[in-house]
Structure formats: C-alpha cells, structure tokens
Structure 1
Amino acid sequence: MFGLFSLIVPALGLLAVSPVRAANTADIVSGAAWTDTDGNVIQGHGAGILKVDSTYYWFGEDKTANSALFHAVSCYTSPDLTTWTRQPDALSPVAGTNISSNNIVERPKVIFNSKNDEYVMWFHSDSSNYGYAMVGVATASTPCGPYTYKSSWKPLGADSRDMGLFQDDDGTAYLLYASDNNVDFKVGLLDDDYYNITSVASEIAGASLEAPGVVKRDGVYYLFGSHTSGWAPNPNKFFTSSSLTGTWSTEADIAPESTRTWYSQNAYDLPLGTNAIYMGDRWRSNLLGSSRYIWYPLDWSSGSPEVIHADVWTVNLDAGTWTVVNGTSYEAEDGTLGGSAVLSSSSAFSGGQTVGFLGNGGTVTITVQGAGTSQWVALYYSNGDSTYRNTTVSVNGGATTLVDQPDSGGGSVVISVPVLLNLNEGSNTITFGANQSNYAGDLDKIIVYDS
C-alpha cells in the first residue's frame, strides 16, 4: 500500500489515514499510512495473505522498532481487504533460538495442511548480519496462532534468503527461494507435512531474484519477483512456466522499467477473479516502521501481467473485479507560480512542463474544485535525487501538511504520492512549497479524486 510511498506529516506529527474513504466506500490508496480498526498504523511488511472461509489473514513483519531485528510476526484479519483488525501476534521471539529478538525473521507466509489439520508458517530466518541464510518453520492449530517454532535450517544444505510459498490446486506445496548467495532462484517441493523440502523442482540459474510470488492462471504459472538491490527498489519482473518442475521463460517487466515498479518490491500476489492484486512494500531503510504498502491491480487484459498504476481504487471481491476511482487532473504549470519557482519542459511530463524550485521561496498555487469533504489528492512529481524530498501542502491558506516524496528514479521519471485533504465545496486553492527551506520535487500535476 504505498500512489507510491507517502508519509503524511502535518505540522504537529504523523497523520495516519485509513484506506477507507470518507464517504464510507472501501478504497485502496497505495502510499498512505494505513491504519487498523484501533487507529494504529498497520505493521505487516513482507506480507503473506491467507483466506480461510470468508476471512482474510494478513501476516507480516512488525517493524515498530524501526529495526530489521525480529519484533513479531503480526496477524491482521479482514472481511474485505480494506478494513483490518489486529489480532494477537502470530509469532514472537524465543530467547536462545534462531528467532530471538537478536535475529531476523522476514517474509512470513502461511498455508493450511489438510492432512494434519494444521497451519504451517515458513519464513526467512537469519542472523542479524544476514549470515545464516536459512528458512524457519512454525505451526499452529488456528490461522493467527500463536505459532510454535519448530526449527531453522538451510534447505537441502543451500542458502535461502527472500522466500515465498505456493500451494497448488492439488495441495502440493512449494518453497520459492533466493539461493546460493542470491545468485540462483529455486522452487523446492515440500513434503506432505509442509515441514521440509524433498527436492528442487525447478531453478533459474543466475537470476538474482528475490521477493517471489506465484499466480496460477489458465494452467500457466507466473512467477513474480524483484532483482537484488538491498532496500532500494528495482524493476520487478515475471517469468512463466507450464509446470513448476519445468523450465521458466526469460524475464519481462510488469510495470514501466523506469518507475522501478512504482517504487516498490513484490511481497505477495493474490488472485482476484481472472486477474490478481500485486501487494508490494515500499521500504524506507532508515525508518522501517514507516515503510508503506503498494497494492495495485495486476491485470492480464494485454495478454501478459501488468501492474495498473491506480492512486485510488476499489475491489469487488464477490465479482473478482476492481475499479479505479474517478478524479480530475490539474496541470501544475497552469497554477500561479510564486517566488523562485520556474517551469521546465520535458516530454516525460503530462502537459509537457513541470514546476521546479518549489520550496526555499518557490511556490505554486493550483485552483481545484472540491466536494465539501475529505478527498484524496495525488501529487505527480519528479525527484532525481537518491534520497527523499518533501513538500508542504496548504489548502485555502490554512495550516501546512508535509508530504514525503521518495526519489522517483530520475529527473524525468514521474511518480505519485497521495495526501488526504479537506476541501470546501466548490473552488479551493492548494499551495505547494510554502514555508519550507528545502527544495521539493518538481511538480508535474495533481489529481483530485472523487469523494
């Protein structure tokens, strides 16, 4: 969930916003700070999703401490993928083991074993310096557990770092894992208990692939994943195969390569009707607890899977469909420039121009139409730095809200971040860059979404 990763900070602190729209329609807004039903920011990084009956279970890494070290595997429940309730932790540190609070536990994934009537969790199990490169397994009698830790080890004696699970239609289960110091990617067949690997079913040698997930569609297996660039994003890819024990195709992009999958890394891929939902992380390495979630429709209408960039969208689980929420676009160059703000031209920008030198004296004010309620406004901008920038946002001359702007991957690459603003019915002015000493990203346009 993270248009892209957006940390929304008003003058006095963090403004945590729910993915539920003000008009009570369930929206998914990638990049916002999602909150649970208690109002706490969701801590479910490296997500795994399990559906049991009509309930969805979201397992993830709790990064409240802003550390890579193991704090907890969280468990959230939802009837609709948008309203999430935190349950007691699924897995907690165990002193003196490989899942102590001084170790690493990442990318938890859970599947149900009907033979043993048991839920089985697999995860990346490692030392604090990522020197162990193991998998770990824990089991429970209920979806959220608590889970009982079994052990950690190297599958078939080889490394395992980023990993995922896939359970086929016949109940056969597979471990998807980055192996051999992240050089090779492997698919391992699990035993009937789902406790161990019996063999390597297939391999992509030299792939340097991590953050994997698999979707089966019309008899074809689609493997999704990123390449290895630490916490920084890169263009996620997909591979295809007619069998998990066969050979895999060459890689192809799921999003425009320059966007680095809209600044995200794959975590889980959830089937939705004839398509799927791409569930990714936007990691913030120096503030891991504020890493956001990027969930987008994953669409096959072109014949190949494609991430649909949608700032605000809804999902109909019964129909297995998704809908992008309507919005009105306003070009930044049509606003009123102030101070040192200047126009720059590039064919990469939607109207051919962008407003630069915002902040440090430069501003742009855009007049928009509002509905008299809280509305999502997506800022489309370019940030060619290798670090975050931010911009202030003020509605009708009121207090400023600070919106973080992750680096976009290049000076002509445009990405978006959402902010929830209170707009009057009728005409409103939105000013960007006022009362800040640093420079913001270059603003291309904004989209004001219907309430």
Structure 2
Amino acid sequence: MLKIFKLILYTTATLLVFNTLAQKQLVINPGEKWADMDGNHIQAHGGGVIKIGKTYYWYGEQRSKEFDIDTVHHYVSCYASKDLINWKFKGNAIKLARPDTALEGKHWVLERPKVYYNKKTKKYVMYMHIDGVVKGKRYGFASVGVAISNKPEGPFKYLNAFRPLGKESRDIGQFIDDDGSAYLIFESRPSKGFYIAKLSDDFLTVEKEVSFIQAPLEGGAIVHYKGLYYVIGSALTSWAPNPNKVATATSLAGPWSTFSDIAPPETNTYSSQSTMLLKVEGKKQTTVLYMGDRWKPSAQWDSRYLWMPVEIQEGKVWIPKPKPWHINVKTGEVRYIEQINK
C-alpha cells in the first residue's frame, strides 16, 4: 500500500511538472492574444516595463471585464517576468477612485501608467495620465497623477495630481537614461507638441523642461543607443493607428532631426501605437524592443500588444514585419520562429 501511495504521489508530481512546462511559452507572437502564466489574457495596456535585479515588471491599464465594469474605480495591473515572455500576474498595483473633486460626473480616465524605481528613496513611483470633464470641457483635467509604494507590486498610495511645467498633459511616456536620471514625456495639446521633462531627485514632481519637440505627436517613447537618442511618437488619431515617426539627437535637449517613418506607412505601424522603447542589454548584444498597443475601443479587454525587436542604426529605427520571436535576456540575442525550428 505504501509503495502504491508513493507511486501515486510521484505520478501526480510528474504530471504537475509536465503541465507547468507545457504552459511555458517560448516565443512572443506579436498581435496575438498573450496569456499570462495562469492562462489569462495579459491586461497591461498603454503600460511600461522596468527591470529590478533580474526581474522585469510590466504595468498597464487593467481592462479585463471583471474590473472594467467598475464605474467607480480604475486599476493598474502589475506583472513580473524573468524572460520577457512568461508573465506572472502580481495583482492590481493600485485601485483608485475619482482622485480630484474638480473632475465632474462619474466618468474619468486613468491611462498610460508608468513606474520608476528611485534608488535613493527606495520607493516605487507611479505616474499616470488622469483626465475627465472640468467646467464642461471634455479632457479638461489634463494632468498627471502620482502614487508611491514600497514594493514593485504595490499597493501604491495616491499622492496628488498636477500639470507638469504648468502645461496640459495627456499621453505620457517614461525614459530612464543610462546614468539613472528619470524623465517624463508628455503631450500638450495647446502647445502642439510634446515635452521631455526631468523628474526631481525623489521622482515625485517635475524639476525642469529639457526639450520641447514641436510636433503634434503622442505616445512618446525614447531610447539611448550608441550615442544617439531616439524618440518615437504617434499622430493624434485617437484609437485609430497611424504611421508612427522617429527623430534623433545627440542630446535630450536637442536639436532633434526631422521625423521619419518607423514602418511602411501603409501598415499604420502594423496597426499599433507606440508606448515604449525597451533596451535589453545582454552579454553579447543590446537589443531594442518596440512596445506598441493594438487598441480595440469597443472591447478594451481584448486589446492586443505588438512587441518587436527593431533594426536600429545610423539614426534609423525600423520595425520588421511582425512574426513570432524569442529573446535571451542574458545574452540579448533574438531569434525568430523559423530559426528556432531549424
């Protein structure tokens, strides 16, 4: 009887290991439904990724049906990964009710959350676009909200909202330079362009304007690669995708080059909108990833992601035609599915 019991335990454990391995994903399929390690569609829209130690954390708008029906609160989700392919849901990092009495009515938005880690204060700081009706004007709040946490997965405590540099702020992006300095990118509709602003030492507010780029673009994302800064952005077409553009400079302060396409214009950036450029520095090479969102306004919970390694050199960023791919985060090397199958 004891031998049979041990055999049952061994068989059960083997099956559990097999099932766990069977669920592990080997590739990223751009534009397809991306499941987390529990088999649920990842809900981290308009988000950002940071790396702490050997772990990547992905934050974004929580749009699952379960939470999207909540008309009182908005949520920011948090996922963790060691390989950028398999993500574990760590829970909702923040649950936020209407954050300001100036917001009129029930409908307000929390969009494009980005999280920074401050090594000096040992705090995680979240920025988010908060908007809604003010004095009858739709999107009249146009501010950034700030929240803080002791742990990457939260819970984050909401602190306040403000307009960076005193300007209206809508879509936001984040950039952390190689020296650890942190920047906020934000689109300002009245200025018909977007700003790059340096954060204060504690990351809780904006310290100064670094650059203003006179171009009506949103979804700003920046990467520093081999001595050049690359900034990409999306035209102001709401949920509809468009041909995203890129410009370069040797300094964040500019001057910036003229903008050029990052994909064949007829593809509308392969039906996506920029949200972040993620640099993966491996032992053998450095790879830059384009992180884009494919929005589905009528079914936000089914919105998808388009992540692709970009070709980047001599002032150009180019997104190859999307296809399944794998990255080794230790070496920085990328392989495509046809290479893996050989």
Amino acid at match of 1:131: G
Deviation, structure 1 residue 176: 0.6
**Following the alignment from structure 2 to structure 1, what is the Cα–Cα distance between the partners of residues 30 and 124?**
30
- The 8 Å contact of residues 37 and 86 in structure 1, kept in 2 or not, is answered as yes
- The 8 Å contact of residues 248 and 315 in structure 2, kept in 1 or not, is answered as no
For the pair shown, which has the larger CA radius of gyration, 1 or 2? 1
Deviation, structure 1 residue 173: 1.6
* Alignment correspondent of 1:172: 181
* Alignment correspondent of 2:317: 305
Question: Are 1:38 and 2:46 an aligned pair?
Answer: no
* Alignment correspondent of 2:288: 276
1:194 pairs with one of 200, 203, 219: 203
Unaligned runs of 5+ in 2: 1-19
**Following the alignment from structure 2 to structure 1, what is the Cα–Cα distance between the partners of residues 330 and 55?**
13
Amino acid at match of 2:142: A
Question: Are 1:155 and 2:167 an aligned pair?
Answer: no
Range moving further from structure 2, 221-230 or 191-200: 191-200
* Alignment correspondent of 2:81: 78
Deviation, structure 1 residue 319: 1.2
**Following the alignment from structure 2 to structure 1, what is the Cα–Cα distance between the partners of residues 59 and 227?**
27
Question: Are 1:294 and 2:297 an aligned pair?
Answer: no
User: Could you say if the C-alpha distance between residues 165 and 68 of structure 1 is closer, same or farther in structure 2, counting changes exceeding 3 Å?
Assistant: farther
Q: Which has the higher contact order (CA 8 A, sep 6+)?
A: 1
Q: 3-state DSSP class of the match of 1:326? A: helix
**Following the alignment from structure 1 to structure 2, what is the Cα–Cα distance between the partners of residues 62 and 103?**
15
* Alignment correspondent of 1:52: 52
User: Could you say if the C-alpha distance between residues 95 and 319 of structure 1 is closer, same or farther in structure 2, counting changes exceeding 3 Å?
Assistant: same
**Following the alignment from structure 2 to structure 1, what is the Cα–Cα distance between the partners of residues 315 and 276?**
21
**Following the alignment from structure 2 to structure 1, what is the Cα–Cα distance between the partners of residues 179 and 276?**
20
Q: Please give the residue correspondences for 1:310-325 in structure 2 after superposition, counting only pairs within 5 Å.
A: 310-325=322-337
- The 8 Å contact of residues 113 and 128 in structure 2, kept in 1 or not, is answered as yes
Range moving further from structure 2, 277-286 or 70-79: 70-79
Q: 3-state DSSP class of the match of 2:310? A: strand
Q: 3-state DSSP class of the match of 2:97? A: coil
**Following the alignment from structure 2 to structure 1, what is the Cα–Cα distance between the partners of residues 173 and 44?**
15
- The 8 Å contact of residues 21 and 27 in structure 1, kept in 2 or not, is answered as no
- The 8 Å contact of residues 246 and 262 in structure 2, kept in 1 or not, is answered as yes
Q: Deviations 1:98-138 (Å, cap 9, x if unpaired)?
A: 79974211111111111211111111111164221111111
Q: Deviations 1:310-342 (Å, cap 9, x if unpaired)?
A: 321111111111111119xxxxxxxxxxxxxxx
Amino acid at match of 2:164: P
**Following the alignment from structure 1 to structure 2, what is the Cα–Cα distance between the partners of residues 68 and 236?**
33
- The structure that is helix-richer by fraction is 2
User: Could you say if the C-alpha distance between residues 181 and 153 of structure 1 is closer, same or farther in structure 2, counting changes exceeding 3 Å?
Assistant: same
1:119 pairs with one of 124, 127, 133: 124
**Following the alignment from structure 2 to structure 1, what is the Cα–Cα distance between the partners of residues 306 and 56?**
18
**Following the alignment from structure 1 to structure 2, what is the Cα–Cα distance between the partners of residues 165 and 125?**
16
2:269 pairs with one of 250, 261, 276: 261
Amino acid at match of 1:81: L
Question: Are 1:105 and 2:110 an aligned pair?
Answer: yes
Q: Deviations 1:360-388 (Å, cap 9, x if unpaired)?
A: xxxxxxxxxxxxxxxxxxxxxxxxxxxxx
Q: 3-state DSSP class of the match of 2:117? A: strand
**Following the alignment from structure 1 to structure 2, what is the Cα–Cα distance between the partners of residues 208 and 276?**
25
Amino acid at match of 1:176: I
Q: 3-state DSSP class of the match of 2:165? A: helix
Amino acid at match of 2:132: S
TM-score by length of 2: 0.84
Range moving further from structure 2, 297-306 or 316-325: 297-306
Q: Deviations 1:177-225 (Å, cap 9, x if unpaired)?
A: 10134711111121111111122111112x1111111110112111111
2:92 pairs with one of 89, 94, 104: 89
Deviation, structure 1 residue 95: 4.7
Question: Are 1:222 and 2:218 an aligned pair?
Answer: no
Q: 3-state DSSP class of the match of 1:225? A: strand
Q: 3-state DSSP class of the match of 1:28? A: coil
Quote the RMSD (CA, aligned, Å). Answer: 2.5
- The 8 Å contact of residues 277 and 298 in structure 1, kept in 2 or not, is answered as yes
Q: 3-state DSSP class of the match of 2:125? A: strand
Divergent runs of 4+, >6 A: 20-23, 98-101
Deviation, structure 1 residue 249: 1.0
Unaligned runs of 5+ in 1: 1-19, 328-448
**Following the alignment from structure 1 to structure 2, what is the Cα–Cα distance between the partners of residues 67 and 305?**
39
Q: 3-state DSSP class of the match of 2:155? A: coil
User: Could you say if the C-alpha distance between residues 282 and 182 of structure 1 is closer, same or farther in structure 2, counting changes exceeding 3 Å?
Assistant: farther
- The 8 Å contact of residues 25 and 85 in structure 2, kept in 1 or not, is answered as no
- The 8 Å contact of residues 228 and 315 in structure 2, kept in 1 or not, is answered as no
**Following the alignment from structure 1 to structure 2, what is the Cα–Cα distance between the partners of residues 96 and 24?**
39
**Following the alignment from structure 1 to structure 2, what is the Cα–Cα distance between the partners of residues 290 and 268?**
20
